[in-house]
Amino acid sequence: MDHEMNALIRLDAWLERGEGGSVPLDLLRQRGLEVADPSTLNDAALPPKLWEILEAMSESGLYLWGTDHMSDRELYELLESRILRAETFLDPDDPWTGETFDLIGGGSEADQRIFLTYYADDEERQRWQTEFGESLPSREPRPFDRDRFLPTMERRLAILAKS
């Protein structure tokens, strides 16, 4: 059976029966990456470790978006405590298979406030106000500039195409 058919069968088992998922933290550790407890990393050691993890995540097909409102430490703590421990469907051998965690796309009130404060453009903010009639939070610049540098599936595919 070819790899694509096998991946579809595994995906179906994951979606229908919750079987065949993977825990990203386990995948990263199997590939030799240590994910240290955030409390053990000082402010100088944390950013390089964070980027090492983000790159390794992308090699497994796991991507992030909506991180510019979080410090490196906040993001690392979220990765280590929740995202990397959540079972999902990943197929590291298939570059066309991936999962993107939108850190502000959960639909909660907090996510909506963060989106409206840091990410929404004028048109989106106006549409929100018109649709919901609620007051908008003040717009603020994103405190961090990370999202545009995050690994993406498109970049992963481009790198693979070159090799």
How much is the pLDDT for 1? 47
* pTM of the complete model: 0.85
**How confident is the prediction for the chain on average, in pLDDT?**
88
- Tens of pLDDT, residue by residue over 85-103, are 998 888 777 777 888 999 9
What's the CA gap between 125 and 47, in Å, rounded? 32
98 sits in which H/E element: none
- Tens of pLDDT, residue by residue over 138-160, are 999 999 999 999 999 888 888 77
Q: How far is CA 7 from CA 2, 17, 30, 81, in A?
A: 9, 15, 20, 28
What's the CA gap between 81 and 85, in Å, rounded? 7
Q: Which residue is it, tokens 């079987």?
A: 19
More confident residue, 136 or 15: 136
Is residue 15 predicted with pLDDT exceeding 70?
Answer: no
Of the ranges 3-7, 74-78, 109-113, 127-131, which one carries the lowest mean pLDDT score? 3-7
